Amino acid sequence: MYKAIRGFDKGEPVYEPITDFVIRIKSLLLTAEGYERDVVFIKGGHESPRIVMTSRSMASRVAFMTFCNNAGYFNYTGSDADLAHLWADIQSETPEKVIAQPDHVGFIAVEDAWLFRNALIKNGQVHQPDGEGVFWIAPGRGLRPAALSGNIDKGKKAMSSGSEIPYMIINPDQAEMENLAADLLDAMRENLGGYKAYLAVGWTLALVFQRELVARYDSFPILYLYGKRGCGKNTLANWLTQFWGLYDVGKNIAESTPTGISRRLSYFSALPVWFDEYRNEKRVAIKDGVLRDAYNFVGATKGIAANFGTRDVAVRGSLILTGEHMPEDNGLFSRCLVIQLSTLERRDSLYQRVNELIQGASAIVTDLLLRKNHETAAAFIDNVETVRRKLKDDGLTDRDAYGYAVAAAGLFLLREDVDFLHWIRKDGDRVQEIKESETIVSGFLEDMCVMKAMGQLPQDFYDRHWVDGHLYLYFSGIYSIWAKEHRQRTGDKAWGRNTILDQFKEEAFFVACNFPHRFNGAVRKSLKLDMAKLPDSVREAFEQ
């Protein structure tokens, strides 16, 4: 126990007990919020489990008493002055041992290392943790992963419990790794019914070089898996996350807040971040901005009390989205590498085989991380750029070409397949057509053409200008008619006027909004569109 001097008797100090315990600082923890202390209480010869103490718990008598009571049956009866002397004595006896605890796992930029639950990969070597989960990378200096949630199961239990600190398998046998990779690719391709399996695996393997891609292209594609219920999209997403030692980590996006989404994107560094049940409904659509920004690793800015400052929330992970329908938000959809899954193409006889092989998939990634160096990174970027340029020359948009190129280069880390490149070219055309037809704007234009054919659009609400080659739309008037008809037909509230206008600005045929134009003598603010670039169906409807 600790004692404080309460006076003197005949020249001798009189001591009074102020605790019924002794406290020991095991190590200093360097976190994103500053230093914390790993402490244990010793009472009656028994040592408590380790407890993390923040500086707030050390600052005052009341805060320290509260901490002691929360830790167990430990009592402090001293004053604030006694506490100050107590900490001076305790910390003077504390060994110089600092443990950094980053607020994320995966790639740790300040250490140029990959941090997982059971392994730290740095400079082509694997470091193992001690009994407390600390990786000692230098004398007196360690690194320990912090949990995102309260689930901190260890070992094999973590592999099946949904624990969110990745647990990687390590297998130094290169021949076994090559055989596992070949068998897994073949089984997944047969199970999913084609090269879309290669596309998905290539995307997840490309995360090994995510930071290099961001440095070069300032982005990483969002993977979007869609299809009817039971098509296997969630199963595939779960397989892809298992390559990175993550198990059952998909979250329902409708039930997730924008802050929660940002926190997961910050915590999983250069790792897949999976959100399920994407739908074109308002409670999901309000998060589209957060999802779009993840493509370019743009995080939210939050205010802090100190000096009226701000703090940026880092975006480090890359998104996997799954849903039954494609996003109607054109900005989000254009940032996605899209894979459509179908029960008709799937071969369930190989499902169990994939499930068995996928258990070792993280060993494949571990092997890639161990062999990663400046030469392999440069070769990967060269592959991305070569495929991207070829696909752009063949007519794909810049974002689509980049997304397919990233996945192709990722697959090349395990297998080079010329036929896969030919398939990518055809699939790119198919997806590009879908993207052009499945947006908010395309739906609005399609409905507008139907209303025109049915005589529901007044003739002074639109003008096909033959001289300058533009279509002028009195957008406010057309929107009012469309929104009313949409509510009557679907029962749902229509998309907002400004939301649709913002989506129009993303289209190639957009020229201007709020453009003054004369409709049958009346000047109104119009939406000006390039007739030559409009979809054929719209152009034909207004050329009649």
pLDDT of residue 310: 52
b/e per residue 420-449 (b: at least 16 CB within 10 A): bbebbeebbeebbeebbebbbbbbbbebbb
Residues with Cβ within 8 Å of residue 177, at least 6 apart in sequence: 171, 363, 364, 367
Structure tokens at 235: 């199963």
pLDDT of residue 174: 87
Residues of the chain scoring pLDDT < 70: 94-95, 149-163, 300-312, 434-438
pLDDT of residue 437: 59
Distance between CA atoms of residues 495 and 477, nearest Å = 15
Helices (H) and strands (E) in the chain, counts: 20, 25
pLDDT of residue 365: 97
pLDDT of residue 403: 95
Distance between CA atoms of residues 540 and 22, nearest Å = 85
Distance between CA atoms of residues 513 and 515, nearest Å = 5
Q: Long-range CB contacts (< 8 A, 24+ apart) of 488-496?
A: 493/282, 495/440, 495/444
CA distances from 6 to 16, 79, 325 (A): 6, 11, 74
pLDDT of residue 162: 39
User: How many Å separate Cα 306 from the centre of its chain?
Assistant: 29
pLDDT of residue 302: 60
- The residues that bridge with 53 in the sheet, in sequence order, are 37
Q: Domain coordinates of the chain in residue numbers?
A: 3-95, 100-160, 174-437, 440-543
Structure tokens at 371: 């062999």
Residue in 229, 35, 31 with CA at minimum distance from that of residue 143: 31
The owner of tokens 């406010």 is 476
According to CATH, the topology of domain 174-437 is Rossmann fold (3.40.50)
Residue count of the chain, please give it: 544
**Nearest 5°: phi and psi at 319?**
-85, 140
368 close to 168: Cβ distance less than 8 angstroms = no
pLDDT digits (tens, 9 = 90+) for 250-270: 999 999 999 999 999 999 999
- What DSSP designation does 419 have? H
Distance between CA atoms of residues 235 and 124, nearest Å = 32
Distance between CA atoms of residues 406 and 336, nearest Å = 12
Strand 268-269 to 462-465 pairing: unpaired
